[in-house]
Amino acid sequence: MKILITGASGFIGSFLVEKSLEQGFETYAGIRASSSKKYLADERIKFIDINYADKESLISQLNEFKRQNGAWDYIIHNAGVTKCDRKSDFEKINFTFTKNFVEALCAAEMIPKIFVYMSSLSAWGAGNEKTLEPIKLSDAPNPNTAYGKSKINAENFIANISDFPYLFIRPTGVYGPREKDYLAFLKSVKKGIVPSIGLKPQYLTFVYVKDLAKAIFLLIEKQIARKSYFVSDGNVYTGKEYAQTVKTLLGKRFTVKICLPVFVLKIICFSLDTIYGWFGKSPVLNRDKYNILKARNWKCETEALQNDANFVADYNLMQGIKETIEIEFYKKKLFT
């Protein structure tokens, strides 16, 4: 069985490729010619550079691929961006490029048995901060970031194609080896500084990258299509618990907590966003980042995934961070 995994050179994509090979698939990694193959060294991997920007060229490319190799049985469309210099690039890359790809697959008669679209919990937005109820699949999506809006736009386009065998995966915070954003927090704690936002408790959910890959391939194995799932390890953690877990695993008994008030964060993010905007850029701390960091409720329901795929996470936060720290990549980054 042939499978294509796009965005294969990235953090999540490289683990999906590893899981695919483990499962015995003939695995095609969709990456740009300029992308690193650092984590794609297995000689069984076959590579393809897909031109999402030009739909007509993409149709020709797919037709030629099908003539030589046949169609893919499954596709995991993981290509996309989580950070951009320009906010308009979220819509361009996450929505328009996905639209081009799906339309090209239809035109080339290469619709797979299941088309897995890697979306995000951000497509739904944060949960209610008064009731603190988990975000439900039945809730109306309410994304408040350019990233989240681009993801829900892609979902809506795909879902409206008659009989298209989509599978929408909406993971919460994904962490693990090779990931960079959570690494920044680990490095800060290692130096004795624990940053936090606001005084109210923040309720967080996580999924270890290997568990995310496990969930996706369980759903593929069960041939589930035209459904959507939130993915987490099934637990809820406060920001304080997250910080304490990292401190414990790094052996940091004494740290300094630096709490940034929400209104100060807002001033910083909005000011930087405005200044960078004059030059057509977007800073790391921007309006969207403010909306993410200030949110207090990132709980989400995962019962559907448990019921439909018998999914149980192998890692809780303590186990996942422990393995992450022990991986050589992180040892180099944290301890040298």
Within-domain flag for 327: no
Within-domain flag for 182: no
The rounded Cα 27 to chain-centroid distance in angstroms is: 20
Within-domain flag for 102: yes
Mean pLDDT taken over the chain: 95
Read off the pLDDT of residues 233-282 as tens digits, 9 standing for 90 and up: 999 999 999 999 999 999 999 999 999 999 999 999 999 989 988 888 88
Q: Which amino acid is at 196?
A: S
Q: How many CB atoms lie within 10 A of CB 336?
A: 5
Read off the pLDDT of residues 23-44 as tens digits, 9 standing for 90 and up: 999 999 999 988 999 999 999 9
Residue 107 belongs to domain spanning: 2-175+207-234+298-314
Encoded tokens for 85: 């210099």
Q: With contact defined as beta carbons under 8 Å apart, do 107 and 273 qualify?
A: no
CATH of the domain at 218: 3.40.50.720
CA 324-325-330 angle, to 5 degrees, is: 90
Q: What is the pTM of this model?
A: 0.95
Phi, psi values for residue 317, rounded to 5°: -60, -45
Q: Would you state the pLDDT for residue 336?
A: 60
Encoded tokens for 65: 């691929």
Mean pLDDT calculated for residue range 162-177: 97
Long-range contacts of 325-332 (CB under 8 A, 24+ apart): 325/186, 325/249, 325/250, 327/177, 329/177, 329/178, 330/177, 330/183, 330/186
Bridge partners, residue 288, by sequence: none
Within-domain flag for 158: yes
Within-domain flag for 228: yes
Q: Would you state the pLDDT for residue 239?
A: 95
Encoded tokens for 205: 């959910």
> What is the rounded distance in angstroms from the CA atom of residue 184 to the CA atom of residue 333?
10
Within-domain flag for 288: no
Within-domain flag for 271: no
Within-domain flag for 149: yes
Work out how many domains the chain is built from and give that number.
1
User: Would the pLDDT of 332 be above 80?
Assistant: no
Q: Would you state the pLDDT for residue 329?
A: 66
